[in-house]
Structure 1
Amino acid sequence: RRTDATIPIWVAATVLALDQLTKVWAAAALDSQVIDVFWKLRLNLTTNTGFAFSAAQGFGPFLGVLALVVTVVLWRMRQRFSGALSNVALGMVVGGALGNVADRCFRSPRWGRGAVIDFIDLQFWPIFNVADMAIVTGVAILSVRMWFDQRGEVPLA
């Protein structure tokens, strides 16, 4: 159904826009400084050519293609997730993945070899960005949904 696709599309577009806007801000404002926000939260600019938690450094092109493949697979599976919250979660995962893929494609040093900008630093966890938050939250919601489906219970999402 066409209306089912509008929720994840709007959420993905919103996540992508927020992610890219915050990364542009971080690249400009945090270039030579760290901002302490509250308790352990600080804003600290870094780049990542790997994937989650800075693993697999230097595999950016492969990871970009992998992220696109996973995004397409998730999108094609969207009929499985019929609830509004599941559609929001799907949009979060897709938007976050596209945000990080955009960095890999268009950021320095050259097309397809770019590094993802990370800047949210909790000091006890690897530095991350808005796209990472959206992906983790969306995957958690979808995982709970699948767990309920397998148990035959009525899902919340």
Structure 2
Amino acid sequence: MAEAERIIGTPDNDAETGEAATPDEQPKGRRRIAVLLGVAVVAYLIDLISKTLVVAKLEHRPSIEIIGDLLKFTAVRNPGAAFGIGEAFTVIFTGIAAVVIIVIVRLARKLYSLPWAIALGLLLGGALGNLTDRIFRSPGVFKGAVVDFIAPAHFAVFNLADTAIVCGGILIVILSFRGLDPDGTVHKD
């Protein structure tokens, strides 16, 4: 974790020089944290509301066709990871999600890039959404199955938390290829 903090820098110090940030730069960092938290809260709430509706209205009922056979809504409980892999490792996936959340929260203090704030907010909101399922849903605490419901033809069933995580990950890859660091600096390799 120290390496990531060194690369990103801190709100009080410049990442490259280690010099103190000017008072004008500090509010920008706080705004990026507010964006990260805002995106995370929106992603989390949309996921939570959608899963609540799915459990109340769709679970133990036939699928709803959205676009013929191409896209359906169907309630599925997934104790594993993507594509139902690792069903016996629910507790490990819970721990991984918790670690991801902790790392994002720690890195947020050093964040000066709006696109990175959005990407990390999507990751945080999605991780919190699925972690909530793993903690509070049956069959028990830290063993809960994630509620999935978006079922495209010939693909895995997923949820909006998964969508937020994937979109955040794609955005991070794009930002990395463009050379934009979380601290707002641009590098050319």
TM-score where L is the length of structure 2: 0.75
Q: Specify the SS of the correspondent of 2:77.
A: strand
Q: Specify the SS of the correspondent of 1:59.
A: helix
Distance 1:141 1:80 in 2: 18
| CA spacing shift, 1:148–1:78, aligned 2, 3 Å | farther
Q: Deviations over 1:77-104 (max 9, x none)?
A: 3467633222111100000000000000
TM-score where L is the length of structure 1: 0.90
Distance 1:23 1:77 in 2: 29
1:10 aligns with 2:10: no
Number of residues of Structure 1 aligned to a counterpart in Structure 2: 153
More deviation, 141-150/95-104: 141-150
Shift of 1:111: 1.4
Unaligned residue ranges in structure 1 (runs of 5+)? none
Q: Specify the SS of the correspondent of 1:58.
A: helix
Larger Rg: 2
**Structure 1 runs of 4+ with >6 Å offset:** none
For residue 187 of structure 2, what is the aligned residue in structure 1?
Answer: 152
Match of 2:139 among 104, 109, 114: 109
For residue 128 of structure 1, what is the aligned residue in structure 2?
Answer: 158
Shift of 1:149: 1.6
For residue 137 of structure 1, what is the aligned residue in structure 2?
Answer: 167
The residue type paired with residue 34 of structure 1 is S
1:118 aligns with 2:153: no
For residue 46 of structure 1, what is the aligned residue in structure 2?
Answer: 76
1:33 aligns with 2:68: no
The two structures, once aligned, show a CA RMSD in angstroms of 1.8
